[in-house]
Structure 1
């Protein structure tokens, strides 16, 4: 006999709501920016080359561009969100695609353009699209 999982009124499962409580989601969301900063610093110290510095500089410029575009476009977020800043363009989506584009460019510049680099580049682009 197969047991059905209890489903809450919003469509999420009881198990999922217990594992990912609001406190855990809030904590992860609050520390995510620090984890990203720490990962960039770790890459700079680990690789300590020009490419790592270009990655960090480009990421910083990308963040500033996102802030500027948010103020220019000034598109409201959906009513269900708690944040009051403009929601368009998505900072997360813009950052993910910057990292994907940087990865693909680094891959092609360090290796020659062949079937493998094209496959890995398409796979990285698909993965980035999925994460957005």
Structure 2
């Protein structure tokens, strides 16, 4: 083999190696872009498998776990019933405020605050009726004084 043929053969082998490396880099880059695009679309749709499973596991364990606040132990659902909110809202409140004590003690302000009806005192006992309705119907004989 002449030196020129040897040089051509070496060039050919180097070219094939470089082409294979370039092709491998292009395929790896295309796979990376495809995965990044899938993650972007899943985040846009709101479907991320790991996060959904983690949230569901947290909710199930939180619902079974008893939380003690001011000496009272209750489950998440029981605390939500006491506060008249949904368990999901209590979970969000706990994550935002950092502890169950803070979530239970939290008093919402602004448009979400539950205000008492105007003119109603909070310590006024609920009425049992006027008292006249049942008594007036049970007395069949009513007498009136005649004018003198």
**TM-score clears 0.5:** no
TM-score range, shorter chain: under 0.3
Higher relative contact order (CA 8 A, sep 6+): 1
TM-score w.r.t. the length of structure 1 is: 0.26
TM-score w.r.t. the length of structure 2 is: 0.24
Higher strand share: 2
- For the pair shown, the structure with the greater C-alpha radius of gyration is 2
Higher helix share: 1
